[in-house]
Amino acid sequence: FDFFVGVGVVILLICFCCIRRCFRKRRAKDGKKGKGIVDLKSVQLLGSAYKEKVQPDMEELTENAEDIAEEGESKQSEVKLGKLQYKLEYDFNSNSLSVTVIQAEDLPALDMGGTSDPYVKVYLLPDKKKKFETKVHRKTLNPVFNETFTFKGVPYADAMNKTLVFAIFDFDRFSKHDQIGEVKVPLCQVDLAQTIEEWKELQSVEGEGGQVGLIEFILNYFDFIICSQYTI
């Protein structure tokens, strides 16, 4: 009898061990599957959290860029670069255009001393073959030039396709001369049969940096940041 009892106990122990081992394997498999599901959910949660965090930042950057652009444009329109007085006389007999640079007023101060050293370049677009320059006037914001230049060999028909440009610069002995502004006069918009004498406001120069260049740089910088956040 004792023998059968011992055999029964051994069989029970063996069955218990087998059942426990199978349970452990099943639990391990379930654990691996569960771990994969948890990682996927974690990634989804992290993605949602990142999107919620980044989206307001991108919207704020876009709004800031637009505000800076509007502010820059308004400031650019408010900046006064001064004005220029000139005279035009066309000779139909010699096909020549005489241009007199009379004076400029209220130029901005570009030097540290609160003045400028202005001079004027005069040329015709689109060819720019002939350029004239006035003398440099030292330390003044209201220079009086009274210099006359003559463009010869300009038939009236050709003159109608040209634009007269007055470009005012600030002379600098040690570096590149800064352009203060310019006046453009399309000759097709004036009556060359009459002597023309008038004042024109100086305009900022397109493509020469300044406020416009700064705005473009800022907008490009914000675009770079926004694109970088989208690609992360």
Domain CATH number, residue 169: 2.60.40.150
Residues 150 and 103 in one domain: yes
Domain carrying residue 224:
58-71+219-232
In this predicted structure, what is the pLDDT of residue 146?
Answer: 97
The angle formed by the CA atoms of residues 27, 28 and 30, to the nearest 5 degrees, is: 65
| pTM reported for the whole predicted model | 0.58
Q: Which residue has the tokens 């000139």?
A: 86
144 found inside a domain: yes
77 vs 116, residue with greater confidence:
116
Q: What is the mean pLDDT of residues 157-171?
A: 95
153 found inside a domain: yes
45 found inside a domain: no
232 found inside a domain: yes
In this predicted structure, what is the pLDDT of residue 127?
Answer: 84
Residues 197 and 106 in one domain: yes
In this predicted structure, what is the pLDDT of residue 185?
Answer: 97
Residues 227 and 186 in one domain: no
With a cut of 90, say whether residue 27 has pLDDT above it: no
Contact (Cβ atoms closer than 8 angstroms) between residue 137 and residue 117? yes
The pLDDT tens digits for 54-98 are: 455 555 655 665 665 565 555 555 578 999 999 999 999 999 999
227 found inside a domain: yes
87 found inside a domain: yes
Residues 133 and 182 in one domain: yes
Rounded CA separation 100/87 (Å): 5
Residue 67 sits at φ, ψ, to 5 deg, of -65, -45
Least confident of 12-16, 95-99, 141-145, 150-154: 12-16
Mean residue pLDDT across the chain: 76
The answer to whether the bond into 126 is cis (omega within 30° of 0) is yes
Let me know how long the chain is: 232
180 found inside a domain: yes
Number of domains into which the chain is organized = 2
Q: Given pLDDT bands bounded at 50, 70 and 90, which one contains residue 20?
A: low
145 found inside a domain: yes
Question: What is the DSSP secondary structure assignment for residue 113, as one 8-state letter?
Answer: T
With a cut of 80, say whether residue 40 has pLDDT above it: no
Q: Given pLDDT bands bounded at 50, 70 and 90, which one contains residue 217?
A: very low
Residues 179 and 224 in one domain: no
Residues 131 and 232 in one domain: no
Rounded CA separation 85/95 (Å): 23
